[in-house]
Chains A and B, each alone.
Chain A
């Protein structure tokens, strides 16, 4: 080990760690966990089945359906938003 190496290894430690990466990853992860936690577990299946029913009558794209779930003080709100294609009319 050269003299320079010796000084390099005995210098006071720099802020070289990657704890900040850990924190960033955790913040994202925990936020996602928390969103999923407050929703009923049947939600994805409900979305699929509603879409299947609508598709019996109108041809809609999977991406045009959005399901929102919100918890209010005393009640829960399930909001369905379906964008029908322009040509859709009564069969």
Chain B
């Protein structure tokens, strides 16, 4: 039986799709059979971040409408055998994403996979609601910035009242915080909310802190999940995040500015 993870935030542009791509690739590389689903109907982007946009033939809505089978729509990742991508549709009809259809697809996937990662669209409307409804775990992606923290808190309210687990009185959705675009130097200067500040407000399980990094844009330019860039700080931080999600006790890194030696202070361009 697969575990269903939603990557959510409320606010747009905080790194949901980057995180969905990194998490699913990280889980798959550890041998977990993983499928990642793009719930952003009309504005699909996950296939771009995963670098498989030219291999999309059928999509999630086609499967829901029985216009294709699940196997026809699933795209196997070329870098990792145990990872599959179910792209979103470019159709404008968001109502096509209905609860019965989503449930049927998730149930069918649940038998053959260990993890189903749902990449939620921004906002708190229908698509976001569908992405989180069946979730067992929620990773709330947040930037250290007022509007993002507030939207995350609102999303937590929705998870605790309107998810299937809440409605059927099961054990609540397990909620994790992932802080992204973190700039340790600005935090040290008091110009950016710190991890502790955000935790004081949201008090969630801290899954990871991803530093602001050039590697993220560079990875998306190339269609390679940033977790595969092992040299980069963001790639390593995502690697830690996956390990933590699977239960490893990994200390948090990249929380403090790098200490500069005398030489780099003098010779820095």
Contacts and interface: CB of A to CB of B under 8 A. Distances in A.
Interface string B59-101: 0000000000000000000000000000000000000000000
A26 B150 contact: yes
Contacts of A23: 193, 197, 200-201
Contacts of A25: 146
Interface residues of B, number: 21
Contacts of B154: 33, 37
B150 A19 contact: no
B168 interface: no
Interface of A: 13-20, 22-23, 25-27, 29-30, 33-34, 37
B30 interface: no
Nearest 6 Cβ contacts at the A-B interface:
A17-B191, A17-B190, A15-B190, A37-B157, A13-B189, A23-B197
Contact of B189 (A16, A26, A27): A16
B9 interface: no
A22 B185 CA distance: 17
B153 A19 contact: no
A16 B191 CA distance: 7
Interface string B168-187: 00000000000000000111
Contact of B157 (A15, A18, A29, A34): A34
Nearest to A20: B190
B7 interface: no
A19 B193 contact: yes
Nearest to B154: A33
A29 to B, nearest CB: 6
A33 B197 contact: no
Nearest to A29: B150
B153 A22 contact: no
A13 B188 contact: yes
B150 A30 contact: yes
B192 interface: yes
Nearest to A14: B189
B34 interface: no
